[in-house]
Amino acid sequence: MSEKSKPAPSRREFLQNTGRIAAATALASMVVPHVHAAEDNTIRVALVGCGGRGTGAAANALSVQQGPVKLVAMADVFPNRLSASFDALKQQASDRMDVPEDRKFIGFDAYQKALDCLRNGDVAIFATPPAFRWVHFKYAIEKGLNVFMEKPVTVDGPTSRKMLALAEESQKKNLKVGVGLMCRHCKARAELFKRIKNDEIGEITMLRAYRMSGPIGSAFSGPKPKEANELMWQIARFHSFLWASGGCYSDFLIHNIDECCWMKDAWPAKAQALGGRHYRGDNVDQNFDSYSVEYTFDDGTKLLLDGRNIGGCHDEFASFAHGTKGSAVISTSSHTPAKCRIYKGHNAKRGELAWAFPQPEPNPYQLEWDDLIDAIRGDKPYNEVKRGTEASLVTSMGRMAAHTGQVVTWDDILNCEHEFAPDVDKLTIGGPAPIQANSDGKYPVPQPGITTRREYA
């Protein structure tokens, strides 16, 4: 092909070239020169879901140093949340924001309007309750947009099947997609994984994980205020409703489950579990406040998971691996810093310490964004949707085992036909909610041993 007949570079090729320029410069934060006078190498971002996690994700996106990134549109169903998010981001990164009033969108179709502000190859952030994830992702694929989506990405079997199909579509289009399981980007955990694969604790015989604290997020909800619209109230209190979030189990325990499965380098085949509701008074949410789950891998190894949201009890937030030669701390307290360590035995005593990741650790919330933008600018293979869906599915498997009182296998949860919100793509402001309160203002809760083929009647 002659020089005259060569096609103009695509946006992806353009971003790849500018990424190389950014990597070569000694000033990582420097604005990369335009390759063409009429073309802009800025990656534009739209935020869909302006709560705390969405605001945090946008702040991380705007902190990336691999060439310019700018927030250009925002969307939510709650005007006050969008306004609060805008104000917070403006304080942190005003020079990287270009969101005038006419690019602030409210409503269930707001995500479309925000994504329509982007160009092919830009980035959409999805940080709404996970029930909406497949709806928004489908539109992003149609638009040719790269995506960062928060976890979990699915809440039941049918939505997992939808997301797996969408994952394949996005890969065919070479879209770069990050999933907010940021622990997978943690340098300490990555080093621990290498050491486990190098046989430093021997063959893994058991994994343990804990996330036990008082009530968390919006997981516990008293009666709906009389003046509140039922649908909007449920979305505002999304941790309380299985259709919206998978409940407190899916939203909060997925990280511990995922990091343990990473160290095992496998997904469990089945789960059995216990769970219950205690001291709940007039609460109307659908959650248990205690979960104890035994996951079993194909080789018989167990992952024992304890989750509890009751005040006044022992608190713990950590994950551990035990092997034939010793043990490992996967995470110590919360998500970061992980403070990964290896011990010669199974007691975490100073004299038994064999290795510890040096402190301080890079922040994995930032690293996942650095990795995504690097993949976009470098046109590197990068799509976490399948793995994120599998992590979400395994999480739902344990939740369903607790809610039904049955042993639930991978195939059981994947092929379960109970879709919590089959018409989530048709919701409208002021319209009916996917789940309705009874005459007492209460919602259906799981009944292990009574309702056994679905999580609630």
Please write the tens of the pLDDT for every residue from 149-172: 999 999 999 999 999 999 999 999
Whether 119 and 132 share a structural domain: yes
Whether 26 and 156 share a structural domain: yes
445 in a structural domain: no
Whether 37 and 134 share a structural domain: yes
Q: pLDDT grade, residue 1 (50/70/90)?
A: very low
pTM here is 0.91
436 in a structural domain: no
What is the C-alpha separation between 450 and 41, in angstroms, rounded? 58
The total number of structural domains that make up the chain: 2
Whether 194 and 294 share a structural domain: yes
- Residues contacting residue 53 through CB under 8 Å, at least 6 positions apart: 127, 150, 180
110 in a structural domain: yes
Q: pLDDT grade, residue 39 (50/70/90)?
A: low
446 in a structural domain: no
Between 3 and 336, name the one with better pLDDT: 336
Whether 16 and 148 share a structural domain: yes
433 in a structural domain: no
Whether 150 and 295 share a structural domain: no
H/E segment holding residue 139:
helix 133-143
Please write the tens of the pLDDT for every residue from 168-207: 999 999 999 999 999 999 999 999 999 999 999 999 999 9
What is the C-alpha separation between 129 and 163, in angstroms, rounded? 15
Whether 148 and 216 share a structural domain: no
Do residues 67 and 377 make contact, with C-beta atoms less than 8 angstroms apart?
A: yes
| Domain CATH code at residue 44 | 3.40.50.720
Whether 352 and 215 share a structural domain: yes
What is the C-alpha separation between 83 and 85, in angstroms, rounded? 5
H/E segment holding residue 343:
strand 341-343
What is the C-alpha separation between 128 and 137, in angstroms, rounded? 12
Please write the tens of the pLDDT for every residue from 298-336: 999 999 999 999 999 999 999 999 999 999 999 999 999
The lowest-confidence range among 13-22, 351-360, 373-382 is: 13-22
Whether 124 and 236 share a structural domain: no
451 in a structural domain: no
455 in a structural domain: no
Could you give the percent of the chain with pLDDT greater than 70? 91
Range of the structural domain that residue 81 is part of: 11-183+367-383
| Domain CATH code at residue 237 | 3.30.360.10
Whether 376 and 401 share a structural domain: no
> If you average pLDDT over every residue of the chain, what do you get?
92
Whether 354 and 279 share a structural domain: yes
Whether 213 and 306 share a structural domain: yes
